[in-house]
């Protein structure tokens, strides 16, 4: 079904920039980049899928059944996203908050052209209908710019972006207090509460903004997604779910600390985060939730915690990450594994359904693709998906820009500190948009 050619690339970093410039000619683009962040579970350093041959685009009604049918019928690589609001397909839930972005709830496509990077090796997997273009494309990519201008040019056609908040600090704190009252009453133990930052009547260059955001953060799950006039520019540090053969891997993040330029201070921040009882309790609660989710498709006794509350350092923040794994039978559908774990526990809370109901009550904006997932499913049913956080969403036709941040609220949460954590998480997106 696909023809494959392999090429050696002399300078992968330079070639990747050229490649992403070349990809802008297509209506459908998914670019996934690890930024050379060496992970235990990884197949590729970067992946590019472009030019849809077939696709599926739907709202949440029966979305997972439709995706399952599409995946089985296609029996090929498919790339796309799952929005947070697919929760309404798996549980008796609703999404009534305002939505100014208007992304479909689910979108996947089968790319005509697929390029896979590992070290300095490039594999080009093209559908037979376009495989005569491989050699020409490889040569053409080398003609595109090999550098990125991250400066904010005064002569740019794009004006300065002015960010607004969906809720004020006082309103945010009042809502956190309401969340805490639910926790103290025993309705939930933990919930992820988010707020939106947005800009109306604003335009950005999506590719340059992505480069700027990625340069600020250098995360292991960076994404540039394009579907016509809809864009996701993501600097996500978090994996949602991965399937390798019969092994399933989930790596929830809960626990965040700022970084310091001074090495001794930075080491102390790591130590403080590692021993912080509140942050550890947040993480452990979500680990329990993930273990429960994975058990729904796991073979008996196969759910294990490989890492608990390990601190990883990224360019802007330290994060506490746990790794939970399971085994599934060969006959288990990849879409069913996703369906029974979605949305991810790190972006919902515990108990999961009660948390999602309270989240909907207190948040002002529909989450949409934020706290959903972007990734791919392979022809043999393996998959890898990130968590859409630290991300900018852009509807170019509506000239609407949005980014959302949040944090886990537990019984020990302090509203002022939670607000400061939101601002810390929002800094990279604000800087990418405003050039501060």
Residues belonging to the active site = 238, 254
The DSSP bridge partners found for residue 224 are: 31, 233
Q: Three-state DSSP class for 228? A: coil
Length of the chain: 436
Residue 68 CB coordination number (10 Å): 17
> Angle 277-295/263-275 helices, nearest 10 degrees?
60
The H or E element containing residue 47 is strand 46-58
Integer-rounded Cα radius of gyration of the chain: 21
CA distance 418 to 282: 13
User: Do strands 373-377 and 349-350 pair parallel, antiparallel, or not at all (unpaired)?
Assistant: unpaired
Give the integer Cα–Cα distance in Å for 84 and 304: 26
Any idea what the Cα angle at residue 410 is, between residues 408 and 412, rounded to 5°?
Answer: 125
Per the omega criterion (within 30 degrees of 0), is the bond before 236 cis? Answer: no
Q: Whole-angstrom Cα distance, residue 128 to residue 100?
A: 39
Query: Which DSSP symbol is given to 142?
Result: T
Q: Which one-letter DSSP state was computed for residue 60? A: S
Nearest to 190 by CA among 374, 334, 17, 351: 351
What DSSP line would sit under 318-347, residue for residue?
EEEEEEEEEE--TTS-HHHHHHTTPSPGGG
- What is d(CA 424, CA 436) in angstroms, rounded to the nearest whole number? 14
Beta 317-327 vs 253-258: how paired, if at all? Answer: antiparallel
Per DSSP, helices labelled H in 24-159 are: 63-74, 87-90, 134-141
Is the CB of residue 369 less than 8 Å from the CB of residue 107? no
Closest CA to 81 of 106, 112, 53, 49: 106
Task: Kindly state the DSSP code that residue 143 receives in the 8-state scheme.
Answer: T
Q: Within 276-414, where are the H helices? A: 277-295, 334-339, 352-362
CB 270 within 8 Å of CB 257: yes
């Amino acid at each position: 079904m696909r023809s494959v050619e392999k090429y050696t690339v002399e300078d992968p970093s330079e070639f990747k920039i050229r490649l992403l410039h070349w990809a802008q000619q297509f209506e459908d683009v998914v670019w996934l980049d690890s930024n050379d962040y060496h992970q235990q579970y990884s197949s590729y350093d970067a992946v590019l899928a472009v030019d849809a041959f077939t696709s599926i685009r739907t709202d949440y009604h029966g979305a997972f059944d439709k995706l399952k049918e599409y995946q089985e019928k296609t029996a090929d690589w498919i790339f796309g996203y799952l929005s947070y609001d697919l929760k309404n397909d798996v549980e008796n839930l609703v999404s009534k908050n305002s939505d100014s972005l208007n992304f479909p709830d689910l979108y996947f496509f089968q790319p005509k052209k697929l390029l896979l990077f590992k070290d300095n090796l490039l594999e080009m997997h093209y559908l037979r209908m376009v495989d005569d273009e491989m050699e020409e494309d490889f040569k053409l990519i080398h003609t595109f710019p090999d550098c990125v201008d991250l400066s904010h040019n005064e002569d740019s056609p794009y004006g300065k972006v002015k960010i607004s908040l969906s809720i004020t600090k006082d309103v945010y704190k009042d809502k956190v207090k309401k969340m805490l009252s639910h926790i103290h009453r025993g309705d939930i133990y933990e919930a992820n509460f988010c707020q939106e930052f947005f800009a109306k009547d604003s335009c950005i260059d999506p590719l340059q903004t992505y480069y700027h955001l990625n340069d600020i953060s250098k995360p292991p799950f960076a994404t540039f997604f394009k579907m016509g006039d809809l864009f996701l520019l993501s600097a996500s540090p978090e994996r949602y779910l991965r399937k390798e053969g019969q092994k399933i891997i989930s790596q929830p993040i809960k626990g965040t600390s700022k970084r310091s330029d001074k090495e001794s201070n930075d080491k102390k921040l790591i130590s403080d985060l590692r021993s912080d009882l509140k942050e550890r309790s947040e993480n452990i609660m979500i680990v329990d939730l993930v273990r429960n989710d994975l058990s729904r498709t796991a073979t008996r006794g196969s759910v294990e915690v490989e890492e608990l509350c390990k601190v990883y350092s990224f360019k802007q923040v330290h994060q506490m990450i746990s790794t939970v794994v399971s085994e599934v039978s060969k006959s288990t559908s990849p879409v069913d594994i996703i369906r029974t774990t979605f949305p991810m526990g790190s972006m919902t809370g515990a108990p999961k359904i009660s948390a999602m109901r309270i989240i909907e009550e207190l948040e002002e904006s529909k989450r949409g693709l934020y706290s959903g997932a972007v990734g791919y499913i392979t022809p043999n049913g393996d998959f890898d998906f990130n968590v859409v956080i630290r991300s900018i969403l852009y509807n170019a036709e509506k000239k609407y820009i949005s980014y959302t941040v949040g944090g886990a609220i537990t019984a020990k949460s302090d509203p002022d500190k939670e607000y400061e954590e939101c601002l810390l998480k929002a800094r990279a997106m604000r800087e990418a948009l405003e050039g501060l």
